[in-house]
């Protein structure tokens, strides 16, 4: 287990490895944009180039460019999407 046992069965957590909660929206945008751009660029690269030698390098190149665009876009668009969703659901 990744926790050290203390006296009386208490555990010392690794909270020092976590980022502050105020940065959660940025971390969410980072994770979301990374995963989405990785998947979409992989599908797009496979569709355009096919399963060729060097496919992985083509994919990573496409992913990096798409992620550089997707990350700031997610940070800007996510609050707008949240407001739209809040307007479409019952309180």
Q: pLDDT tens string for the chain (91 positions)?
A: 545 555 565 656 677 788 899 999 999 999 999 999 999 999 999 999 999 999 999 999 999 999 999 999 999 999 999 999 999 999 8
Query: How many whole angstroms separate alpha carbon 83 and alpha carbon 58?
Result: 37
φ and ψ of 4, to 5 deg: -90, 135
Q: Which residues contact 32 (CB under 8 A, 6 or more apart)?
A: 74, 78
Query: How many whole angstroms separate alpha carbon 72 and alpha carbon 87?
Result: 24
Q: What is the pTM of this model?
A: 0.71
Ranges assigned E (strand) in 7-84: 11-12
């Amino acid at each position: 287990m990744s926790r050290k046992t203390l006296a009386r069965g208490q555990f010392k957590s690794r909270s020092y490895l976590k980022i502050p909660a105020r940065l959660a929206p940025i971390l969410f945008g980072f994770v979301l944009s990374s995963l989405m751009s990785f998947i979409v660029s992989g599908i797009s690269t496979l569709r355009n180039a096919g399963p060729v030698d060097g496919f992985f390098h083509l994919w990573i190149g496409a992913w990096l460019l798409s992620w550089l665009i997707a990350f700031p876009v997610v940070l800007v668009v996510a609050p707008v999407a949240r407001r739209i969703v809040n307007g479409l659901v019952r309180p």
